[in-house]
Structure 1
Amino acid sequence: MFHRCFLTAAGLAIAFFAAPASTAPLQEGVDTAFDQIVSAAADAGLAPVVAIDHARLAAAEGVEMPPARVQIFSDPAVNTTLLAQDIRAGLDLPFRALAYAGADAVQVVYTSADFLKRRYGLQDAEALAAFDAALAPALDGLDGITPMPVPTQGLAADYGILALQSRHDVPETVARLRAIVAVQSDTVWFGEIDFTAEAAALGVDLPPAVLLLFGGPAPGGVAMAKFPSIGVDAFYQKLFVHAAPAGGSVVLFNSIVALAELHYGASAPPHAMLDERLTATFAKALE
C-alpha cells in the first residue's frame, strides 16, 4: 500500500522552473530519457510509486546541481519474494532508475539484482533473476543510452547500511519518524510503502515492514552537485522500518558517504554532515 503525500504549493511551482541555458540541452535529454523510462515501465505493468526531479526541486531552494530525475516503481510480487528471504532488503526495494547529466552526456543508472545479492547475501537465483526480468522492460528502448547498474565493485554484505534500534513497535516507530521529518523546515515528504500490506494482498505473511520516503532539496542538491548518480538512492532519503525478532523495531537507512564512495570512489564534507544530521534526527525520534 502506498500513501501519497507529495509536495506543497511551493514545491509544485518547480514545474515552471527553466534550466539555465548552459544545462538546457542536458536537461532536455534527461527529461526525454526519464519520460521513456516512465512510459516503458507503465507498459510493462509496473506500478508507479513516486517521481522526483532532483535538480528542479533543488533550484526552487536556490541550489544548483546537474539535471537528475529518479523514478521509483514497484512489482509487489517481486518485492514480497525477496523480502521473504531477508526482510532487510526492503531498504533497496522497490525498483528505481535515475536519468542524470553526466560529464558530457545523459546517463541512466539503476539498482540491479546483483546489488541486492551482494548487499544482503541473497541466494535465491530464481527470485533474483525475476527481479532483473521485471525491471528490464522499463529500461529498454532508451535512445542512445545504455543503462548502467549501480556499481558493485567493493560492495560487501551490509555495505553502507546505518541501523538504529527502536524499543517501539513498527507503527509507533513510523509515527515518530514521520513526526520528526514533518518539523524539518527543509524537508519534503514523498510517501511510504507498506510492504506487509502488499504481501498480505498476495496471501503472504511478512513481519511488519514499512519504507518511508522523504528528502531535503537544498542539502540534497548540495550533496549531489558533483555526485549526481547517487540520486538513485540519495536526495530522497529512504527509511526502512521492520520488526525486530526480540521486540521493538529496527530502522535502516543509507550512509551518503558510503553511496558517494561506491559511485565515485570519494566523498565530500556535505555527505558526512548529512549522515551526522540524519542519524541524530532519527535517534532523537526514537527516544
Structure 2
Amino acid sequence: MMTFISFGKARRVAFMFGLLLLVVAVSGCEWSDMLDGDDDSDENDNTPPAAETNIPGLSLAVSGRGFDATRTALRDAIADRANLSVRTEVDHQANANQANLSMRPTTVLFIRDSNRERALLTADARVALDLPLRVLVYRDSDDDTGVAFTNAAYLDARYDLDDVENATLDGVDDDLEAVVSTAANADLDIRASAAGIAEGEGIRSVPSDDDFNTVVNRLASAIDSRDALTRVDTIDFQDVGTGIGPSRLFIFGNPRVGTPLMRSNQTIGIDLPQKMLVVQASDGAVRIYYNDPGFIADRHDIDNRDDEVDTIAELLADIADEAAASSERASQDSNAD
C-alpha cells in the first residue's frame, strides 16, 4: 500500500532534518567562541602560535590554563608581590567589540614598580615610553594562551641605561618572569634577545620652545579634541620620587586603527595603545617623544598593514607638532636624543 505524506508534514520533516544538520555543525564548534561572539577568521591574521613566537626583546610562556584563568592568575600573582601593582589594564578585545570589530581575547596589563622605575628614568627619561612594565595575555589561533613581557634586554638595548645597576635590570626580569610563570603555571618558553635593537631606535622626537606645562596642556588638548581617540591614562613620573625631572606620559588610542594591527599579530598588543611623552631636560629644554609606528610594526613582523601604519604615523606627527607648536614635522632621525 502506497503512503502519501501531506505537504505540511513534509515541511515539518524538512525542518527537523535541517535542525539536525545545524546541531551536527554546531557540535564541532567551540562553545566558548560562540558565547564570546568572536570571529577569528581573517585572511590577514598572521599571529604565529605562541610557542613559535620570536619577537625581539619579548619573553613568553605558553599557559597551561585558559585565557580567563590565566588573566585572573596574573592579577593575583602581581598583587602577591609587594613592589608591584597593576596601574592600568587594557582589554583589546572589548575595545575592538565596542568599535564593531572582532578579535581573539587579548589584554595588556601595565605594572608599576616605583623603585625600579625611578632608577631607569633617572638614567634615561625616554624609557618612560616602555613604562610602566607591561604583560600581555592573548589566545592564539591554536587556542593556546600566551603570556608575554618586554624584557630587560630590550630596555637596555633601546635606552641609555649604562648608569643603571645590573641588579635593577635583573630584578625587572626576575619579577616579571615570576608573575608570568605563576600565571601560566609553566616555565618561560621564549627569552628572545634584543639583537638588532639600537639605542634610541624607533623613537621620534619633537622639540618645543615653550615651557613644560604649556606643552603638556596642548598635548592633552590635541588628544582629547580628536573624537576618534580615547585617552586611557596619564602618568606623572615625578610621582615616583626625587631625582626625576618633569615627565608626563599620555596613553591613548583608537581601536578601529589598532585592532587591524593586532589581527595581523596579536603580540603588537603589548606596544598598544599609543604613547606620547613630554620631558623637560636639566637645561630646561622640552621635548615630545613617541614610538615610530613603523618600528613597532617591524618589531612584531607586520608587513601587510602599510596603510594603517602610515595613517597612525601621520596622526601622531600632527599631534606632536600641535603640542609643540612646531611647524616642522617630527624628526626623521629615529635615534634623536
Q: Structure 1 counterpart of 2:203, which letter? A: I
- CA distance 1:233–1:149, change in 2 (3 Å): farther
- CA distance 1:32–1:260, change in 2 (3 Å): farther
Partners of 1:111 and 1:150 within 8 A in 2: no
Instruction: Give the count of matched residue pairs.
Output: 263
- CA distance 1:31–1:215, change in 2 (3 Å): farther
Please show how residues 151-190 of structure 1 align to structure 2 within 5 Å. 152-190=194-232
SS in 2 for 1:179: helix
Partner of 1:252: 289
Please show how residues 98-247 of structure 1 align to structure 2 within 5 Å. 98-104=136-142, 105-123=144-162, 124-141=165-182, 142-143=184-185, 146=188, 148=190, 152-199=194-241, 204-234=242-272, 236-247=273-284
Partner of 1:264: 301
Distance in 2 (CA, whole Å) between partners of 1:117 and 1:285 is: 29
Q: Structure 1 counterpart of 2:146, which letter? A: Q
Partners of 2:153 and 2:193 within 8 A in 1: no
Within the candidate set 106, 109, 112, 1:71 is matched to 109
- CA distance 1:95–1:77, change in 2 (3 Å): same
Q: Which runs of 5+ in 2 are unaligned?
A: 1-33, 41-49, 51-64, 326-337
Distance in 2 (CA, whole Å) between partners of 1:110 and 1:263 is: 13
Distance in 1 (CA, whole Å) between partners of 2:192 and 2:290 is: 17
Within the candidate set 59, 71, 94, 1:34 is matched to 71
Q: Which runs of 5+ in 1 are unaligned?
A: 1-16
- CA distance 1:21–1:182, change in 2 (3 Å): closer
Larger radius of gyration between Structure 1 and Structure 2:
2
Within the candidate set 54, 58, 71, 2:92 is matched to 54
Partner of 2:46: none
Q: Structure 1 counterpart of 2:89, which letter? A: A
CA drift at 1:149: 5.4
Partners of 2:123 and 2:160 within 8 A in 1: no
1:56-101 deviation line (CA, Å, top 9, x unaligned): 1011111223321000010111100111111221111121001113
Partner of 1:9: none
Distance in 2 (CA, whole Å) between partners of 1:117 and 1:241 is: 21
Q: Which consecutive segments of 4 or more residues in structure 1 shift more than 4 A?
A: 147-151
SS in 2 for 1:264: coil
SS in 2 for 1:140: helix
Distance in 2 (CA, whole Å) between partners of 1:158 and 1:229 is: 21
Q: Structure 2 counterpart of 1:20, which letter? A: G
- CA distance 1:36–1:57, change in 2 (3 Å): same
- CA distance 1:147–1:172, change in 2 (3 Å): farther
SS in 1 for 2:185: coil
Residue range with higher mean Cα deviation, 69-78 or 136-145:
136-145
Within the candidate set 129, 134, 138, 1:96 is matched to 134
Partners of 2:86 and 2:111 within 8 A in 1: yes
SS in 2 for 1:225: helix
- CA distance 1:189–1:148, change in 2 (3 Å): farther
- CA distance 1:140–1:173, change in 2 (3 Å): same
SS in 1 for 2:222: helix
CA drift at 1:267: 5.4
Distance in 1 (CA, whole Å) between partners of 2:294 and 2:149 is: 19
TM-score (normalizing by structure 2): 0.72
* Pair 1:19 & 2:36 matched: yes
Partner of 1:3: none
TM-score (normalizing by structure 1): 0.83
